[in-house]
Amino acid sequence: MGEEAPEFLFGSFISETQDYQTATTIGDKIYVVGGVGDGAKSSISIKIFDKFTGTWSIPTVLGTQPVPSKGHSAVILNNDRILIVKRDSSLDDFAWFLEVDTPFVKEHKKILGTEVVAWSKGVLGNGPKPIVISGPSGVGKGTLITKLMKEFPSTFGFSVSHTTRAPREKEIDGVHYHFTERNVMEKDISVGKFLESALVHGNLYGTSIEAVEAVTDAGKRCVLDIDVQGARSVRASSLEAVFIFICPPSFEELEKRLRARGTETEEQVQKRLRNARTELEQAKFPGLFDHFLVNDNLETCYENLKKILALDENFGASYESFMQNIAPVSHTISKTDSKVLLRIESNEIEAAGRNSYVLDVSSLKGGASGRTRGLNINHIYPSEDSLNDIKLL
């Protein structure tokens, strides 16, 4: 047994100072999460103390990191992640998960051969499901998506993929694609920045976590235009989505459209047509796609697409009123099985009789390196009776 962990490490606490830290013990390890500095230069540091070997290590940190606040509390959940509740933060930024032993983290420990932790932002409610649209090249996916964005600009947002293929004449970097170098993209894929990636028609294409988060953070429903391999990866990921496959009315018509678009060389057209046959075959894989649409008449297909989306709409509950009630405040937290009791320390809120909230973490979905959804929050009126219902640990 090596070096002893300093005494302060046992138990979590909040300090009033700018530099603060919490220590959470899971098995043989103590995860020390600290905020350092203030303003633009601030950051959150993570150190791991191994009680068995008595050594400290600095893990590889994956995922988008939270902006530090003036303090935080830490609670273990399921022995594989730590819920970090930020102090003085609004409800769209107060809950974060530091994953320490989830499947995503385990996978990356293996790939990277280092200690790994991953951040995932906690989001209230389930939010609208992203929409994955696949189909052979030239079938009209882009045309349908453009129509959707034009008609509902504040409802839908496009997930801008990365690709190593060269831009077409009218394509804009950052709008149609993030055009990128292969070695850069491969490196980003290896450190978990991509939700999925695939070799399509000889080039690398991929959806970054950031691309999907940028859309959801803007409060929009994300639309992904990806190939069938990508759709399979997303199906296997933690992202719950609606999967739609667009079919051509015939192979001849597909070929006609692809040629009429005039964006590919003859060799590329041939390659895309060959791949189209494979994609049409693979799309039949049971349970992969939820809906199939034939894009014969464009207007009819578009109307059918809108019908599907209306069916699957699942906009999360609005928590704006909670937002107004809670933020900005400081807090203390305690946990029962799958409920976290948040005590809000604010005179104003106490006066209004609403100083305790129950954060329900029993239905979490998703996780690193995307968002963790399914958080629910309810306020409880602080009568002695209602507080007694919750057994504090």
Kindly tell me which residue out of 5, 48, 189, 198 binds ligand 5GP, with binding defined by CB under 6 A.
198
Give how far Cα 37 sits from Cα of 68, 84, 230, Å.
Answer: 9, 18, 40
How many angstroms separate the first and last alpha carbons of the chain? 30
The closest of 335, 357, 390 to 91, measured between CA atoms, is: 357
Q: With CB under 6 A as the contact rule, which of the stretches 110-118, 219-227, 345-353, 359-367 interacts with ligand 5GP?
A: 219-227
Question: Nearer to ligand ADP by C-beta: 261 or 343?
Answer: 261
168 given a catalytic annotation: yes
Of 165, 257, 259, 261, the active-site residue reads: 261
Give the CA count within 13 Å in the CB-facing half-sphere of 251. 12
261 given a catalytic annotation: yes
Rounded to whole angstroms, how far apart are CA atoms 141 and 53? 55
Residue nearest to ligand 5GP according to CB distances in the complex: 230
Site membership for ligand ADP, residue 142 (CB under 6 A): yes
Phi, psi (deg, nearest 5) at residue 39: 70, -150
The closest of 128, 131, 65 to 98, measured between CA atoms, is: 65
226 binds, among ligand ADP, ligand 5GP, none (CB under 5 to 8 A by kind): ligand 5GP
260 binds, among ligand ADP, ligand 5GP, none (CB under 5 to 8 A by kind): ligand ADP
Binding mask 299-318 for ligand ADP (x = CB under 6 A): --------------------
How many contiguous H segments (helices) and E segments (strands) does the chain have?
Answer: 11, 23
Site membership for ligand ADP, residue 141 (CB under 6 A): yes
Sign of the torsion angle spanned by Cα atoms 347, 351, 352, 354 = positive
Rounded to whole angstroms, how far apart are CA atoms 213 and 220? 10
- Closest distance to ligand ADP from the beta carbon of 144 (Å): 7
User: 200 pairs with which residues across the strands?
Assistant: 203
257 binds, among ligand 5GP, ligand ADP, none (CB under 5 to 8 A by kind): ligand ADP
272 given a catalytic annotation: yes
Kindly tell me which residue out of 32, 98, 200, 377 binds ligand 5GP, with binding defined by CB under 6 A.
200
Of 81, 272, 354, 373, the active-site residue reads: 272
Q: Among all residues, which ones are annotated catalytic? A: 168, 261, 272
Q: Which residues bind ligand ADP (CB under 6 A)?
A: 135, 137-143, 257, 260-261, 295, 298
